[in-house]
Amino acid sequence: MSFLKIKKNNAYHSRFQVKWRRRREGKTDYYSRKRMICQDKRKYTSPKYRMVVRKTKKNIICQFIQPKIEGDHVLSVVYSKNLKDFGIPLSYTSFPSSYLSGLLLGKTISKNKFLQLKKKIKNEKPFLKPIYAILDIGLGRTTTGHKIFAAMKGAIDGGIAIPHKETRFPKQPGESHVNTEKDSINSRVQGHQIAEYMESIKEEDEDFYIRQFSSAVKEKIEPKSFVLIFQKGFEAINSQ
């Protein structure tokens, strides 16, 4: 008869400590949060902003947050469903919608005069310094080409300075990242990949097309006009 060592005995259970509530619920990664909100004491009370991106079943949520002792202060928030005001009636969780949500947040924050800093150089006129923020993805996975990075790209184009690597942006399969990075990210942002998929599915199986793109069928939007919708939305946001 073999003897088994009891690993989780009474001493183990008496010392066991559960994780914090929001970590148990899968809402907050306290390990990364601690490092994102801690500010160097030599910088006194200078704020340390975060751009928070979260994805739900029906929305892409982009927030611009300033941490304080009493809790996080949300300075601005954009839901992808708000793109309806810019002429986009569908596809609020797609790659183009993520980009436009980040772009709208960047435009909103960059117009806020209270957050802008003036920088002076000798013998030159003072100029506005871009607002610096850190990307907060929570418990999301940092997969290359993720929609989170599409929102980050939009915020950068909107005027927020976020430290990043361009290798995280999508690329064409089987090709080097350097040659195709710009073309690939632009085509995905404009919705070309979704339009091509819609056309191929419509030719192969129309019943599956109706189920998969029911919102497009309801709005009577054809694959060819899908790209034009996001282009008009992009122009509407930039014209603000």
Question: Do β-strands 160-161 and 60-68 pair in parallel, antiparallel, or remain unpaired?
Answer: unpaired
Q: What is the pLDDT of residue 121?
A: 57
Note whether 150 and 143 are within 8 A (CB). no
Q: What is the pLDDT of residue 7?
A: 80
Note whether 95 and 147 are within 8 A (CB). yes
32-168: CATH topology is Nucleotidyltransferase; domain 5 (3.30.420)
**Predicted TM-score of the model (pTM):** 0.86
CA 70 to chain centre: 25
One-letter amino acid for residue 145 of the chain: G
Q: What is the pLDDT of residue 53?
A: 97
Three-class secondary structure of residue 227 per DSSP: helix
User: In residues, how long is the chain?
Assistant: 240
Reading the chain (240 residues) residue by residue, the pLDDT tens digits are: 577 777 888 888 999 999 999 999 989 999 999 999 998 889 888 889 999 999 999 999 999 999 998 999 999 999 999 999 999 998 899 999 999 999 999 999 988 766 666 555 555 666 677 899 999 999 988 999 899 999 999 999 999 999 999 888 887 555 555 544 556 788 899 999 999 999 999 999 999 999 999 999 999 999 889 999 999 999 999 987
- State the virtual CA torsion across 143, 146, 152, 157 in degrees, nearest 10: 120
Q: What is the pLDDT of residue 186?
A: 86
Closest CA to 131 of 89, 155, 159: 159
In the chain, DSSP assigns E strands to 49-55, 60-68, 71-79, 117-119, 127-129, 131-136, 160-161
Note whether 154 and 106 are within 8 A (CB). yes
> What is the C-alpha separation between 106 and 152, in angstroms, rounded?
9
- Tell me the two tokens of residue 98: 């993520």
